[in-house]
Amino acid sequence: MKVGFGKVCITPPVGFSLVGYFEDRRSEGILDDLYATSFIIDDGKNLFIIISCDLIWIDEKITKKVKKILQNDLKIFPKNISIHATHTHTGPLTSKPLGSIYTRNFYVDKSYIDILPLYIAGSVKIAFKNMKDIKIGVGKSRVEGIAFNRRYLMKDGRVITNPFNQKENIVKSIGPVDDTLYVIGFKENENFAGFIINFALHPDTIGGNLISSDWPGSLRRKIEEEYKTNALILNGPSGDINHINPEDEKTRTDKIKDIIAEKIFVSFKEIVKNMKFDKYEEISPFYKNFSLDYYSYKNEDIEKAKKVLKSDIPFDSLKYMIAFSLLNIEKEKKKNKKLKLFLNGFTVGEKLCILNLPGEIFTGIGKKIRETLPFENIIIAQNSNFHLGYVPTKEAFLQHQKNIEIKPDFDNVRISEAIGINSSYETLPLACKVNENSEDIIIKAIQEIFSK
């Protein structure tokens, strides 16, 4: 069994828009560089590649271009490639800002979009030059106190995302947290040959106008400096998870990413110290196409949205943004009918499964997947291969409906981000285009792979 790692800087020029909030933040400097880190595993018969990028999401066009380059240059089967975005909120767009109210008037130069796939593919070419015969070790532990479910039950019965401007009305956090840290280690003889790290937490700790890879980059640097080898960071199902405790006074600073990385790093070192390494003979890649349904809106909701757009409401108000996004989803649905997606990954015996999924997956879905699969260690990389948006649980959609029963209309307020949005952000058309059946469809697709 051989593995290889490669890394290429993908930091954009200063002056491009940073994606993550509703306001256009033009970058004014570089706090730390962004990277595409590649991992290849090859048993002589089967090969699989994972590329982790310090980006907020991966546009499908980028995925296709990277795969085409690798197929042409290295003869790699496209189904055995996955491109993951760590979801940093202080990086650039990966496509033109067309159609989405979320990135309205944002700026990224076409030359960066054109060259980005070449940089990403280049990291794989470097990884191929670094292939080594290895043993594999796997371990896990909990890292408590840095990840919090950001959906809260309020006194009026609604479930609100990040209601930190009305702390006095919070009853309790209403969703689960999975604070399990998964680590895969690779050794060539007695030397470390690389690591894969999987933890579920929104990389949204900085804010501001400086380019940064957030906590995944800080963690990667700590590991690379101490162990003198590469580290691939995969963000787990964290659609409803962030770093903010309601008791915190400061929700974002450039120091928080380092605090989070250090806490994870302490657990990481303990896992590695106790890790047992073994030889494995083969991997088993898997791939499955599946489709998700768009969210269905009532005719009255569509007509109401059209009236909002004809009014004099500012385009950066919550009410306008929701109306615009709703109509955009309807337009996309008429064109595409369904969201055509795929998942892929590989297994190593019963010891390990790495599963790559599209979208910002709610933690509850991730936990159900892990309960379903018959593997000792299950690494789930969300935000892979597509820019899909949030994939909430069925329960979250029910909470959304109850919210509307309690408060039928949205506030006509200007917003810059999801804090203070006074609604269930992850189920709004602003951020979610899938319907309530998505959880069941994804789990069923995964079950079908491993029931054969």
Task: State how far Cα 427 lies from the chain centre.
Answer: 16
Residue 91 to residue 93: CA distance in whole angstroms: 7
Q: Provide the pLDDT for residue 419.
A: 66
Q: Provide the pLDDT for residue 412.
A: 78
Same-domain pairing of 165 and 265: yes
Beta strands in 90-179 (DSSP E): 132-133, 135-142, 148-149, 151-154, 159-161, 170-173
Same-domain pairing of 83 and 135: yes
Single-letter code of the amino acid located at 223? I
Q: Is 368 inside any structural domain?
A: no
Q: Provide the pLDDT for residue 99.
A: 66
DSSP string, 276-340: --B-----EEEEEEEEEEBPP--HHHHHHHHHHHHS---TTBHHHHHHHHHHHHHHHHHHHSEEE
CB atoms within 10 A of CB 223: 26
In which region does residue 396 sit, left (phi positive, over 0), alpha (psi from -120 to 50) or beta (all else)? alpha
Number of domains in the chain: 2
Q: Provide the pLDDT for residue 416.
A: 67
Q: Is 366 inside any structural domain?
A: no
pLDDT in tens, the chain (452 residues): 999 999 999 999 999 999 998 889 999 999 999 999 999 999 999 999 999 999 999 999 999 999 999 999 999 999 999 999 999 999 999 988 876 777 888 999 999 999 999 999 999 999 999 999 999 999 999 999 999 999 999 999 999 999 888 889 999 999 999 999 999 999 999 999 999 999 999 999 999 999 999 999 999 999 999 999 999 999 999 999 999 887 777 777 889 999 999 999 999 999 999 999 999 999 999 999 999 999 999 999 999 999 999 998 888 888 898 999 999 999 999 999 999 999 999 999 999 999 999 999 999 999 999 999 999 999 999 999 999 999 999 999 999 999 999 998 887 777 766 666 888 999 999 899 999 999 999 999 999 999 86
Same-domain pairing of 222 and 149: yes
Domain that holds residue 218: 2-281+377-381
| Domain final residue pick, 381, 405, 439 | 381
- From residue 198, how far is each of 186, 225, 359 by CA, in Å? 15, 19, 16
Same-domain pairing of 90 and 152: yes
